[in-house]
Structures are given as C-alpha cells and as structure tokens.
Homo-oligomer: A and B are copies of this chain.
C-alpha cells in the first residue's frame, strides 16, 4: 500500500512547530502533517541539542525513524543516523529501501558504516554491501535490486500467486513503482507486464499473451543522469537494469529518475549563478562552505574582469580628453551583459531539456542575430535619449548610440556560440553563467566603445 496522504487535506496543511517535537506523540503528528520540504527545513533549523533530543525520540520508534529518513535528502538523513545509537540506526536503515539505505551509508565514516552493517540481518547486510560496491554516479547506485518476476508461461492466476509469494523479499518501492518483469529460467529479461494488466486480464490468460516484449533496458554502469533523461524522454514507467548476459539485476524507477533530474536542475541553477553546486540544501550550508563554493568563480571572474582596467588605462588619454565618456561605461557594459545573460540562460535551459542541440547552432545564430538586430535598434534609440538628457553633446551621443548597437550585436553572437561550443568540448554548458558572459562582454565592449569614439569624436583625432 502506497502512502496516499491519508487524512491530509492538501489545502489545509499546518506546519507543526519544531518546539512541539519533544514527545513521541508530537513527532508522530509532525510526521503526519509535514511534507518532505517542511521536515527538511525544520530539521536543518535545529540546534545540535534539539537534534540530539529529537533523534533520541526516534531511537525508540524505528518505524517513525525510517519514515522520516525516507523523506529527507541523503545528507540530512546521514546527519540524523550519525546521532542515533548503532542498534537504532541499523533498525531504521533495515526498514528502508536498499537504494536509500545504501545512499545514506555512503555518507557515513567507515567505522560507523561497518558497525551498522554488522548490526543488520545477514540478508540486508549482503544486499547493501553489493549496492555500496557500485561506483558513484552509476545507474546501479540508484536502482532497486529486488523486483517482482513472473514466467511467460504462467497464467494470470499463477502469476498472481507467484507475485504474492515474492512479497516478503520485494520491498515497498519495487512494489509501488516498478512493473513486473518476465524472465526466463536464467533470469534473463524477456518482457514486462504491469500490475494493471494482471487485474485487467482474464484470469486464465497466459502472461505471454499480453506481455510487452523486450522492454528498453540499461546497463548498471551507465551514467545515472543519462539513464534518467532517457527514461523521462521516452516516458517510460521504469528502466530494468541488466548485466552482460541480459540477466535482470534491478530496476531504475521513474521516481528515482525524477529525483536525479531535480538534483541536476538545482546544480545547473547554481552554476548559472556563477557558483559551484552547493550539494547540500541551502539552509544547511555553513558560511565557510558558501565561501568555498563561490570564491573560485569570483576569483576567476575577477581576473578576467581585471582586463577591463588594462583596456581603460590604454585609453587613459581619451578619458582625460573627454571625461564624459566615463559616464556611460556602466550602462554600456551592463546592457551588453544583460543581453548576453538573457540568451545564455534560455539556451542553457533549452540544451538541458534537449530542446536545442549542437547541430542547431546555425539556426540558433540566425535567430539570435535577427533578434539582436531588433534589440540593437531599440537600445540605440533609448541610448540617444539618455545621452541627450545627460547633456554630453552630439558627438558623444552618437558614440554611445553606435556602441550600444555594436555591443548588443556582439553580445548576441558570443552568447549564442558559447554554450553549444562548450557542449562540443564536453563541458557542461551550465558553466556559461550570467557572470561569465557579462565578464566576456565587458572588456571587449569597452574596446568597441573607444574604437567607435575614435572614429566619431574630433577631440580624439590626434590621440
């Protein structure tokens, strides 16, 4: 039985305050009413003392503890497990799906992990040791190892009985989210049926009559993100994982794929903001961690941007001659950066969702140059108005308007080319963050500015 949120009107969820979490009853009420995000938020807000007290309440009730761990992200779950007694931790983890338990165990120190594995039943410990052996990032680390299987020759009634017999081995998730796979005597994958099919078919039909032959599959060492994209893109309910001899060794469910992709989306968003992915929920990131994740890009961008100082020093005499040129520096490079950011953000998202690819580059360029021309004309027009109101004279006004148009066009081209180009060299296009494209455009935009000024301003003729 899946959790259908019994008793929960989704329009009247009242969060239980963290202060109420000081009794077993309070914890039970909280587990009933707080969603995953709310639980995570409140736990992250707890002091060490509060957390220790809270975990001691869980120690007494492994069922509630397991339910809680299931709904937390892996890092926070590992933090809770670390504060629990070894026996209580083993009891909680023993109730989890193998994939969730293995993910939490991966985050623990060797000593605690070994102690917990030793405290678990032999079957669970063996299954978990097998899960932990797969390399990080592989599809196998996200798969559920136990799934229901039937034989092609069985009738619906026989298959139902076979599935009921496997119930003790197959845990909740495989039961709720995975279909039933049809295998031969060597456990080689030959087909798949849904629980729905078993209910809707006549009891005397054989599985072979209505199973889907040769479903899509994936290898255990395939990249988990690629497998998740394939599953979602082809709208599959699950992807069976098979070994070299096509034997079924587990299943990647649609829910696991959704989790993998949501994490990828958060990491992409953080990269787009010019920061390395935090890898932990925001409220749990310490100032030191924030500094570490951000400072590398800030320094890279600083060094790249420092070039603008060199450009401006090179044009020192021009600035001295017409100081009004300096007034427009932030406006010009700001507009270039904004134009570029709009394009890269849209493009990076389109590439992440598969809506645009490397081979679309010519179409992207034509589209963005056309749109860039329209933007350039608009911005040059408002640029004339702005320069006029600052009272800088006709020549500087013309310089500013021409530079705006040139910077917008140049930025459009750079922003269109950069993400597909990075993809070609197998760099994640999400690193073309808003700050990066702004920085690229800043220095080059200033050069355009002074070249145009030289051509337009009589005062600069001799320089």
Q: How far is the CA of A108 from the CA of B35 in the complex (A)?
A: 39
Instruction: Sort chain A's interface into a size bin.
Output: 35 or more
Residues in B neighbouring A273, C-beta threshold 8 A: 272, 341-346, 434
- Asked whether, in the complex, the Cβ of A334 is within 8 Å of the Cβ of B305, the reply is yes
- Asked whether, in the complex, the Cβ of B375 is within 8 Å of the Cβ of A295, the reply is yes
Q: How far is the CA of A290 from the CA of B167 in the complex (A)?
A: 55
CB closest residue in chain B, given A378 = B295
Nearest 5 interchain pairs by C-beta: A273-B345, A5-B216, A37-B354, A434-B434, A287-B370
- Asked whether, in the complex, the Cβ of A4 is within 8 Å of the Cβ of B215, the reply is yes
- Asked whether, in the complex, the Cβ of A345 is within 8 Å of the Cβ of B71, the reply is no
A160 an interface residue at 8 Å Cβ cutoff?
yes
- Asked whether, in the complex, the Cβ of B160 is within 8 Å of the Cβ of A71, the reply is no
- Asked whether, in the complex, the Cβ of A233 is within 8 Å of the Cβ of B342, the reply is no
Instruction: Identify which of A6-14, A56-64, A420-428 touches chain B.
Output: A6-14
A395 an interface residue at 8 Å Cβ cutoff?
no
Residues in B neighbouring A346, C-beta threshold 8 A: 269-270, 273, 275, 278, 282
The proximity string for A residues 139-177 relative to B, scoring 1 for CB distances below 8 Å and 0 otherwise, is: 000000000000000000000100110010000000110
Please pick, from B212, B231, B305, B354, the residue contacting A38 in the complex, using a CB distance under 8 A. B354
- Asked whether, in the complex, the Cβ of A316 is within 8 Å of the Cβ of B323, the reply is yes
Please pick, from B8, B196, B199, B310, the residue contacting A234 in the complex, using a CB distance under 8 A. B8
- Asked whether, in the complex, the Cβ of B10 is within 8 Å of the Cβ of A227, the reply is yes
Instruction: Identify which of A88-96, A117-125, A324-332, A451-459 touches chain B.
Output: A324-332
A77 an interface residue at 8 Å Cβ cutoff?
no
- Asked whether, in the complex, the Cβ of B309 is within 8 Å of the Cβ of A353, the reply is no
A182-235 contacts to B, CB under 8 A, are 192-200, 210, 212-219, 222, 227, 230-231, 233-235
- Within the complex, what minimum Cβ distance (angstroms) separates A46 from chain B? 12
A429 an interface residue at 8 Å Cβ cutoff?
no
- Asked whether, in the complex, the Cβ of B281 is within 8 Å of the Cβ of A355, the reply is yes
- Give the one of A36, A213, A294 with max B CB within 10 A: A294
- Within the complex, what minimum Cβ distance (angstroms) separates A312 from chain B? 4
Known: A217-B10, A319-B323, A327-B309. A36 touches B287 (CB 8 A): no
- Within the complex, what minimum Cβ distance (angstroms) separates A204 from chain B? 13
CB closest residue in chain B, given A347 = B282
Please pick, from B312, B341, B434, the residue contacting A326 in the complex, using a CB distance under 8 A. B312
Residues in B neighbouring A275, C-beta threshold 8 A: 342, 345-346
A107 an interface residue at 8 Å Cβ cutoff?
no
